[in-house]
């Protein structure tokens, strides 16, 4: 079978060995994996390299980099040598611009994080983020990230349609965590949608972690998510 790379499975497990075991269980049902900070000290970069170079998988490195421009540029230049596919940085324009400089000459796509899907308005107030409805803030940050050169943005599926409506979004990626199949536990996610709703709103990739790796049969769980996306797409032939 050919896996549907719209589904990115988050390998949110503690270390390389458990990541390898999960990938073995899923097999050819998934072609795209996310490796984040939680596994960085547990062999995350080594696993990313193995999955990319030896197993032919696509890799999303979720680092959410944020620093002064020169530091971000240097960090991204170092990561670009691993021939990975996606890398996240905070969506602030100076960070995005520096990351694009660091990725120059490689195929690494830079994705700007808008507002984390685990945050709501109360959380933003505690962080001293300016007033406004979250969808409006997310859309504004997405537009600024695109203007700074981002290849795409990270946002919740609830904001995907608004971002897709931006003129600047043409040819850019929308990648959405916070996707949960119907009936799945929300965990620490607050702004969520189903795979079908995410696809209907124009996202390019959905990121799903716990509903897959905590399932009794992770392979079947991944296949069910893809089937739901395909069903939603079939109802929208112009997508």
Positions annotated as catalytic residues are 64
Backbone phi and psi for residue 58, each to the nearest 5 degrees, phi listed first: -90, 145
Backbone phi and psi for residue 174, each to the nearest 5 degrees, phi listed first: -120, 120
Backbone phi and psi for residue 172, each to the nearest 5 degrees, phi listed first: -105, 160
- Whole-number CA gyration radius for the chain: 17
The residue to which tokens 């032919």 are assigned: 56
In 10 A of CB 237, how many CB atoms? Answer: 6
User: How many residues make up the chain in this entry?
Assistant: 239
* Beta bridge partners of residue 88, listed in sequence order: 111
């Amino acid at each position: 079978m050919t896996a549907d790379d719209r589904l990115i499975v988050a390998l949110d497990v503690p270390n390389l060995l458990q990541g390898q075991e999960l990938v073995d269980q899923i097999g050819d049902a998934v072609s795209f994996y996310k490796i984040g900070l939680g596994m960085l000290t547990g062999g995350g970069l080594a696993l990313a390299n193995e999955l990319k170079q030896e197993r032919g998988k696509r890799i999303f490195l979720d680092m959410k980099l944020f620093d002064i421009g020169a530091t971000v540029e240097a960090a991204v230049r170092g990561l670009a040598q691993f021939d990975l596919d996606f890398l996240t940085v905070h969506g602030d324009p100076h960070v995005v611009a520096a990351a694009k400089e660091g990725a120059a000459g490689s195929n690494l796509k830079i994705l700007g994080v808008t507002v984390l899907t685990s945050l709501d308005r109360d959380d933003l107030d505690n962080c001293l983020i300016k007033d406004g409805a979250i969808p409006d803030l997310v859309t504004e940050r997405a537009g600024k990230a695109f203007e700074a050169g981002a290849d795409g943005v990270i946002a919740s599926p609830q904001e995907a349609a608004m971002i897709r409506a931006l003129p600047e979004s043409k040819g850019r990626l929308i990648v959405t965590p916070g996707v949960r199949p119907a009936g799945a536990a929300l965990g620490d996610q607050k702004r969520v949608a189903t795979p079908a709703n995410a696809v209907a709103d124009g996202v390019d990739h959905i990121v799903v972690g716990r509903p897959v790796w905590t399932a009794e049969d992770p392979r079947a769980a991944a296949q069910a998510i893809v089937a739901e996306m395909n069903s939603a797409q079939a109802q929208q032939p112009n997508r």
